Structure 1
Amino acid sequence: MEIRAAVARPPGVFSLETVELDAPRAGEALVRIVAAGLCHTDVAALDQHLPYPLPAVLGHEGVGFVEAVGDGVTRLAPGDAVVLTYGACGVCANCQSGRPAYCLQSRRLNFAPCRPDGSCSHHALGRPLSAGFFGQSSFATHALVRERNAVKVPGAVTADELATLAPLGCGVQTGAGAVLNVLKPAVGSTVAIFGMGAVGLSAVLAAKLAGCSRIVAVDLHAGRLDLAAELGATDLVRAGDGPAGPQVQARVAGGTDFAVEATGIPSVMADAVASTHRTGTTVLLGLAAAGSSVTFDASLLLSGRTVRSSIEGDGVPEVFIPRLIALHRAGSLPFDRFCRHYPVDAINDAVADCRRGDTIKPILHMDAGDFRRFGRSSAAA
């Protein structure tokens, strides 16, 4: 079938093109995309900091409705509303032990430019396009996904509500999961969160939900810190006013119980570790450039501190995403507060706004009529 997709050809810019998409094969589903979040990982691939082969169809926070399924698909049916997320094989040792974010086939299923069998699902101008980014390539009117990439939305859902759920596939799942699944803070715990992007703000929301008594938000931008305060942060630290670790230590005597690092900047990673007290735990979420090194005083680790990383918030998508949807519907996880909506034709504007920090989480609507009916171009930085 012919679809419309945002194609990255030269690095740095998208073009809207007509693309030929295969029919779903065994184990695949065809999803009509309603909306897709724009993540910094998409921008990294667009700019080739993440070396995904171009030309390519990117996008990995898609939501939509199933239109057709291939042979062997049993968990999805036409008409199902779904949130798309990362790919995992489901059968390796890590998947079988409930840790699909660490699937042993993750690179092949999320970052290969074609299907696992080497066939290409997308073509334009008679030539193949790299596609299957995070198992979906959702910057398009339609996406082909494997069954495990799609999580059904419980209950009745409109296209408008579905559009608001797009960030659950990666950003919100990562930030909220770091707190709820990895750190699991007891009520009254203290936490410092570095980087008030979509991931960091999701961690702020989750820390408030968990009952943390002190939530220290760290960022360079005053506007983002103000939004963090509205969402539950109790203390604000401007990162540009000197090393943030000592500032956190001054706010919370001795340091926090936990720290979440969501920037991927090596110096900030070191600051996060230094912000915790003896026996504190830091979880690293940011994607650092390949070959980067983090330098900190080795004596920090002699005091019982723990440092670990997390992918996708250690969530099991078919369990965690419905939980996040329920929390959002109850008003307990208002991540829509940091989203701004764009028609897909404005995708390059969304990228520019994201690069400047004017928008925290852009959400792209694939149908101009749907975008106009949505009637919101809400919050930003």
Structure 2
Amino acid sequence: MSVDAAAIRRRKQDVVKIQAAVATAPSTPLDIRELELDEPRADEVTVRLVASGVCHTDAIVRDQWYPVPLPAVLGHEGSGIVTAVGAAVTDLAVGDSVVLAPASCGVCEQCITGHPQYCVDFYALNFGGSRTDGSSSLTSDGERISSNFFGQSSFATFTNVSARNAVKVAGDAPLELLGPLGCGIMTGSGAVLNVLRPAAGESIAIFGTGAVGLAGMLAAVAAGATTIIMVDIVPERLDFALELGATHTVNSREVDPVERIREITGGQGVQYALDTTGVPPVFAQMTKSLAIRGHGALVGAAKLGTEAPFDIGSLLTSGITVSMVVEGDSVPREFIPRLIALYERGLFPFDKLVKRYEFADINTAFEDSESGVTIKPVLVF
């Protein structure tokens, strides 16, 4: 490393002014305001955000389904350019393009065995509103603002993140598109490719045609599944799923989805199923749609304490497996480049799910996501 490069790496930055969208209360529009961002710690990098996806989890945390301390800067599908690095960071440099992923400790049993999304400190690191030492990187005229949401708080023009959860990508990568690979797209596709793992010629049913469900569907297409059944209540979304590669659709408002899935599969049920909704009756339908020794997965978030019906009497003899899946059980530095490679080869066209919004229109993006007008809003800075 040259003397100049070393000087850049060691350089301390002063507290800087940034623009950020602050969540202040449940069901309340985010407030774009000027905040102060402190300097990166030794293991952190400062990232200038190019874009950030808007995810259902941002909305439910704003509404306090999970008790992240407010006021807070949310956002957890960020992508951008590294502008400063901490003294202990060796694998990233100023100017690197990165996609941001959830935080994990890197040293617990789950992390070291390749399952960082089940890190023993996952909740504290991603929903605690602070660094591990309790400090926040964000203030507003001396008032503490919760930071480090999903390790990033990407609804801001700049943010400090642990270098561990910044995934370096090619310098010419389309950063304005890639942010959702760090959560929503990774969740759906990872649940299919990393957990369910359908083989060529096999069958899968996916409940929900939002960004997570459609990402799972695209992954099933890429894996070679030949019976791909999408279940939802919105006809336009179901038609769109057919355009993207689904072989069958089921409107569960019009027919019993379990019965219809069994009709499609000759009475057997599907070998794999994915519930992206987190709605208890839908979860029950997912379990009942499985074939003998089938494998189902739940990725949809629900309020803490939510319980779902599970027919242990009827299902005992089915031999099914049901997995609870966080962030697609992915190792981001391995999985995100895989998704980018599939996208570049035309095998994973997740860009068809995306609609861009200016940062100033963040509340419109939230509204359009909730109403279903937009599948995956992405804010561009």
TM over 0.5: yes
| Cα separation, 2, equivalents of 1:313 and 1:301 | 26
Counterpart of 1:53?
69
Counterpart of 1:27?
43
TM-aligned CA deviation for residue 226 of structure 1: 1.1
State the one-letter code of the partner of 1:171. Answer: G
Tell whether 2:168 aligns with 1:137: no
Counterpart of 1:173?
186
Structure 2 unaligned regions, length at least 5: 1-15
Counterpart of 2:25?
10
Over residues 35-92 of structure 1, what are the superposed CA-to-partner deviations in whole Å (9 max), with x where a residue is unaligned?
Answer: 0000000000112222211111000000000000011001110000000010011110
| Cα separation, 2, equivalents of 1:256 and 1:281 | 9
What is the SS of the residue equivalent to 2:61? helix
**Where in structure 2 are the equivalents of 1:29-108 lying within 5 Å?**
29-108=45-124
What is the SS of the residue equivalent to 2:347? coil
Counterpart of 1:378?
none
| Residues 36 and 59 in structure 1, CA contact (< 8 A), matched pair in contact too | yes
Counterpart of 2:282?
268
Counterpart of 2:374?
359
| Cα separation, 1, equivalents of 2:91 and 2:304 | 37
- List structure 1 segments (4+ residues) > 4 angstroms apart after TM superposition: none
| Residues 60 and 136 in structure 1, CA contact (< 8 A), matched pair in contact too | yes
| Cα separation, 2, equivalents of 1:301 and 1:37 | 40
Counterpart of 1:311?
326
State the one-letter code of the partner of 1:116. Answer: T
Question: Equivalent of 1:114, from 119, 122, 130?
Answer: 130
| Cα separation, 2, equivalents of 1:120 and 1:131 | 5
Counterpart of 2:11?
none
| Residues 246 and 274 in structure 1, CA contact (< 8 A), matched pair in contact too | no
| Residues 43 and 88 in structure 2, CA contact (< 8 A), matched pair in contact too | yes
| Residues 216 and 236 in structure 1, CA contact (< 8 A), matched pair in contact too | yes
| Cα separation, 2, equivalents of 1:100 and 1:329 | 26
How many pairs are equivalent?
A: 363
Counterpart of 1:371?
none
| Cα separation, 2, equivalents of 1:50 and 1:218 | 27
TM-aligned CA deviation for residue 297 of structure 1: 2.3
TM-aligned CA deviation for residue 334 of structure 1: 0.6
Percent same amino acid at aligned positions?
A: 50
What is the SS of the residue equivalent to 1:34? strand
Question: Which stretch has the larger CA shift, 105-114 or 127-136?
Answer: 105-114
Question: Equivalent of 1:126, from 124, 142, 146?
Answer: 142
| Cα separation, 1, equivalents of 2:352 and 2:83 | 30
Over residues 280-317 of structure 1, what are the superposed CA-to-partner deviations in whole Å (9 max), with x where a residue is unaligned?
Answer: 11011111221111113221132111111111111111
| Cα separation, 2, equivalents of 1:297 and 1:90 | 38
TM-aligned CA deviation for residue 27 of structure 1: 0.2
| Cα separation, 1, equivalents of 2:308 and 2:25 | 32
TM-aligned CA deviation for residue 242 of structure 1: 3.8
Counterpart of 1:295?
309
RMSD after superposition: 1.0
Tell whether 2:250 aligns with 1:250: no
Over residues 328-381 of structure 1, what are the superposed CA-to-partner deviations in whole Å (9 max), with x where a residue is unaligned?
Answer: 111111111011100010001111111111111100012xxxxxxxxxxxxxxx
Counterpart of 2:233?
220
State the one-letter code of the partner of 1:365. Answer: V
Tell whether 2:344 aligns with 1:329: yes
Counterpart of 2:7?
none
Tell whether 2:202 aligns with 1:189: yes
Counterpart of 2:358?
343
TM-aligned CA deviation for residue 25 of structure 1: 1.1
| Cα separation, 1, equivalents of 2:91 and 2:360 | 33
| Cα separation, 2, equivalents of 1:358 and 1:20 | 34
TM-aligned CA deviation for residue 126 of structure 1: 2.0
| Residues 86 and 110 in structure 1, CA contact (< 8 A), matched pair in contact too | yes
| Residues 96 and 171 in structure 2, CA contact (< 8 A), matched pair in contact too | no
| Cα separation, 2, equivalents of 1:331 and 1:283 | 26
